Amino acid sequence: MARAAADAVRRIGIKLSALAQDGLAYAADDYDVDRYQQVGLLAAELLAVLSGRPADELAVELGRYSGYATPKIDVRGVIFDDRERVLLMREKTDGRWSLPGGWADPGDAPSAAVTREILEETGYHSSAVKLIACWDRELQANPPPLPVHVYKLFFLCRRDGAVQPPAALETLEIGWFDVHAPPPLSLGRVNHRQLERALAHHRDPSLPSEFD
């Protein structure tokens, strides 16, 4: 019950933050601007109580965004070898393993975003061949809870061209692993079920893309 209540309150905080962002985008006068700024600060305080992070730190993070509030897009690229092993990279941030990927940048098509991330983080040139899924992070059990709403786009990709050293800034090492026996995963980025669904799509590309 306590976990369910905390999740409900966090969702309210995220919606309040989005409401404040929308209001600031369309506010007609200084009074409205002030009210929506206060709503944004209250949202940050609410999320701070739940997360233990300082409210001013969360306010800065939430305040980076402007315009009408929409979910953030996280792209992940899945490449299998001829033994059905999946390509993973070990993250510098937590020392755990993940599919290559990250936030999509404005101006990038989703397929371009994911192949760029694969190249930067693993050194493999690739092409996106199928959208495996558009998953709502809230419904996919990817911890920890975040102060923003996230859609996760998983693409089935194939190797294409030469291999080069990965960018040293983000990646500790790369490797090929059995989906059913992976190394410790960075679960906020990818979980075991998502890897297993990716393997199912690799084995049967005719499967429909998944969502939610």
What is the SS3 assignment for 28? Answer: coil
Residue entry with tokens 């306010």: 59
Confidence of residue 58 (pLDDT cuts 50, 70, 90): confident
Name the token pair of 199.
């393997």
pTM of the model: 0.76
Mean pLDDT, residues 114-132: 96
Confidence of residue 1 (pLDDT cuts 50, 70, 90): low
Distance CA 130, CA 157 (A): 7
For residue 142, pLDDT over 80 is answered with yes
Note the pLDDT of residue 178.
Answer: 98
- Sign, Cα dihedral of 177, 178, 180, 181: negative
For residue 66, pLDDT over 90 is answered with no
- Half-sphere exposure of residue 208, counting CA atoms within 13 Å on the CB side? 2
Percent of the chain with pLDDT over 90: 56
Lowest mean pLDDT among 74-78, 146-150, 204-208: 146-150
